[in-house]
A and B are shown apart, each in its own frame.
Chain A
């Protein structure tokens, strides 16, 4: 008999099976991505954050323990977003905006010649994914939003929880502190995870974005005020009923950076216009529910994709 009460997570072993990245040109942006598995249904994972983060940095490998097991059933594609991971930075200063990130995701899906995809977006990537689903619905079959304060109408507390890490920005200790504070239990933040964060931070291309956002103050001069306007429009679009794809909202119940009530509000907003909406709360999970409980997250996503797969 299997003891379901005392699981030992073997998920970390999947990380080593994550295939190396390849590159594709997306309208002049050298774009890194990982391409796993095959099948008629394609999942595209869009991680959080944005270019120019100096305390920590997300990249495609954050989804490794989801992408590898799911690739046994589906084609799974994980790109690095504009100016993040190993993808090039925006070509012009005025492209240091969320709308440029959204356009890059859409252009990437087109450049890859993918059928309509099951897009899964986390945090700021959840915002970008929802925007793609409304602005370019022909590219999207279903939408999964994971813990996205950026898409939530309420107060996000990311900046409160993670304010001024007690370590020098750019150091391993600083990155570890950030991710441990994001998560419910610090021990999910593995050395392997931090290794990749540090490698991204060391990339000269990535540092160009840091220089723009921090050094030239594009973050406060352009990115944040533009995002506020863009978010107002995006929330209005949802309330107008423009989100017309099956939508599941997944939230860590213990996320201090964007509490579970934000997920309930998002469900209320989306479900008013789209029947195929669910809210899914997972206990003992912070901001990275898909790394904190990968097996149950993967099953939830797999069953969602199966339910809303193409009928041919």
Chain B
């Protein structure tokens, strides 16, 4: 692994863990991982990125945090909401980067990144949303049963391994490092604050906040639009969210944002950066480099 510096610092009043590293001349790339604390049957954190971090670090300066309630970052000081998670990220950008960053978010991190782009576009050079059910239109969707029967106990090695398997096109990317880090994350204060297996998901503050944030995003999409160049990277075989959902998310943003691209990766489930890292990497970097070439 490339030399990443590990930080534990108070960001927005919360003890926050994040990595920095990599080299490059362009804007810093910040990556927001997936997983919804208390709701997802896997524990999110910087460990989800796997080998892609080393490869990105060859040409990019990186900031890679654990989000509120995930990994080694503590719980939110108030309610865990998308607003709180976005404000936390804005505070981290202000602490670590003088210039706007390329912001990428996966899954729940995609909605957090989108909300940062809407509330504070001056902090961003571009936005990338990856495989994000949280950011896509919900409609009167059909219940998704992909994760309906997790093995007990929740968030154990077996249970998290099962969840990654269920969400992947092929299980080959699921390695011991991922499982070990996920189990370690389950023991941290962030996860513990939201791990209430007996509480229905619909009672979660985060769940309510996701739905409200989507609604606010659709209003923004109709009116002023998303003010930063945006790409959507989606996976053909994602059990959680269809290609049509991804194209609709793109359509909403493309209505007002000139520099908008949609990319669909084949034979990947919910983790295209782990399942098809070569394609993921070349698409992500082409968009950023293309924007730089346009601006030159």
Where the two chains meet, the residues of A that have a C-beta atom closer than 8 Å to any C-beta of B are 1-7, 9-10, 253, 260, 264, 267, 271, 274-284, 293, 295-300, 302-304, 306-307
How far does the alpha carbon of A267 sit from the alpha carbon of B247 in the complex, in Å?
A: 13
Known: A276-B266, A283-B258, A299-B289. A7 touches B236 (CB 8 A): no
B294 touching A296 by the CB < 8 A rule? yes
Indicate which residue in A10, A275, A280, A282 contacts B283 across the interface (CB closer than 8 Å).
Answer: A280
B136 CB, min distance to chain A CBs, angstroms? 16
A120 CB, min distance to chain B CBs, angstroms? 15
A294 CB, min distance to chain B CBs, angstroms? 9
Interface centre among A260, A274, A279, A297 (most CB of B within 10 A): A279
Indicate which residue in A1, A271, A293 contacts B100 across the interface (CB closer than 8 Å).
Answer: A1
A296 touching B286 by the CB < 8 A rule? yes
B residues near A7, Cβ cutoff 8 Å: 259, 291, 294-295
Top 3 A-B pairs ranked by shortest CB distance?
A296-B290, A7-B294, A295-B293
Indicate which residue in B259, B267, B293 contacts A298 across the interface (CB closer than 8 Å).
Answer: B293
Known: A2-B292, A4-B229. A304 touches B243 (CB 8 A): no
Asked whether any CB of chain A lies closer than 8 Å to the CB of B287, the reply is yes
Interface centre among B236, B261, B267 (most CB of A within 10 A): B261
For chain B, residues 187 to 244, give those with C-beta under 8 angstroms from any C-beta of chain A: 227-229, 236, 243
A residues near B293, Cβ cutoff 8 Å: 295-296, 298-299
B254 touching A303 by the CB < 8 A rule? no
A28 CB, min distance to chain B CBs, angstroms? 41
Where the two chains meet, the residues of B that have a C-beta atom closer than 8 Å to any C-beta of A are 99-100, 125-126, 227-229, 236, 243, 247, 250, 254, 257-267, 278-279, 282-283, 285-287, 289-296
How far does the alpha carbon of A4 sit from the alpha carbon of B243 in the complex, in Å?
A: 28
Inter-chain residue pair count (beta carbon < 8 A): 115
How far does the alpha carbon of A279 sit from the alpha carbon of B231 in the complex, in Å?
A: 13
B residues near A302, Cβ cutoff 8 Å: 286
29 chain-A/chain-B pairs, Cβ below 8 angstroms: A1-B100, A2-B292, A2-B296, A4-B125, A4-B126, A4-B228, A4-B259, A5-B229, A7-B291, A7-B295, A264-B247, A267-B264, A274-B266, A280-B264, A280-B283, A281-B263, A283-B254, A283-B258, A293-B290, A295-B293, A296-B287, A297-B290, A299-B289, A299-B290, A299-B293, A300-B286, A302-B286, A303-B282, A307-B279
B270 CB, min distance to chain A CBs, angstroms? 17
A296 touching B291 by the CB < 8 A rule? yes
Considering only CB atoms, which chain A residue lies closest to B283 in the complex?
A278
A281 touching B266 by the CB < 8 A rule? no
B99 CB, min distance to chain A CBs, angstroms? 5
B residues near A284, Cβ cutoff 8 Å: 254, 258, 260
Indicate which residue in B259, B262, B296 contacts A10 across the interface (CB closer than 8 Å).
Answer: B296
A295 touching B290 by the CB < 8 A rule? yes
B294 touching A278 by the CB < 8 A rule? no
B residues near A297, Cβ cutoff 8 Å: 290
B263 touching A279 by the CB < 8 A rule? yes
A4 touching B292 by the CB < 8 A rule? yes
Indicate which residue in B100, B247, B260, B290 contacts A283 across the interface (CB closer than 8 Å).
Answer: B260
A303 touching B283 by the CB < 8 A rule? yes
How far does the alpha carbon of A300 sit from the alpha carbon of B279 in the complex, in Å?
A: 11
Indicate which residue in A6, A277, A281, A298 contacts B290 across the interface (CB closer than 8 Å).
Answer: A298
B35 CB, min distance to chain A CBs, angstroms? 26
A303 touching B285 by the CB < 8 A rule? yes
A residues near B229, Cβ cutoff 8 Å: 4-5
A residues near B262, Cβ cutoff 8 Å: 253, 279-281
How far does the alpha carbon of A303 sit from the alpha carbon of B263 in the complex, in Å?
A: 14
B residues near A267, Cβ cutoff 8 Å: 236, 264, 266
Known: A264-B247, A280-B262. A5 touches B227 (CB 8 A): yes
Known: A298-B290, A299-B289. A280 touches B227 (CB 8 A): no
A295 CB, min distance to chain B CBs, angstroms? 4
How far does the alpha carbon of A295 sit from the alpha carbon of B291 in the complex, in Å?
A: 7
B residues near A9, Cβ cutoff 8 Å: 294
A residues near B295, Cβ cutoff 8 Å: 2-4, 6-7
Considering only CB atoms, which chain B residue lies closest to A271 in the complex?
B266
B131 CB, min distance to chain A CBs, angstroms? 14
How far does the alpha carbon of A277 sit from the alpha carbon of B2 in the complex, in Å?
A: 30
How far does the alpha carbon of A279 sit from the alpha carbon of B264 in the complex, in Å?
A: 5
Known: A4-B229, A264-B247, A306-B282. A300 touches B264 (CB 8 A): no
Indicate which residue in B100, B125, B258, B286 contacts A303 across the interface (CB closer than 8 Å).
Answer: B286
B282 touching A307 by the CB < 8 A rule? yes
B residues near A282, Cβ cutoff 8 Å: 261
B residues near A2, Cβ cutoff 8 Å: 125, 292, 295-296
Known: A3-B295, A5-B229, A10-B296. A278 touches B265 (CB 8 A): yes
Considering only CB atoms, which chain A residue lies closest to B233 in the complex?
A278
A277 touching B291 by the CB < 8 A rule? no
B55 CB, min distance to chain A CBs, angstroms? 12
Interface centre among A10, A298, A299 (most CB of B within 10 A): A299
A residues near B260, Cβ cutoff 8 Å: 253, 283-284
A85 CB, min distance to chain B CBs, angstroms? 28
How far does the alpha carbon of A169 sit from the alpha carbon of B275 in the complex, in Å?
A: 52
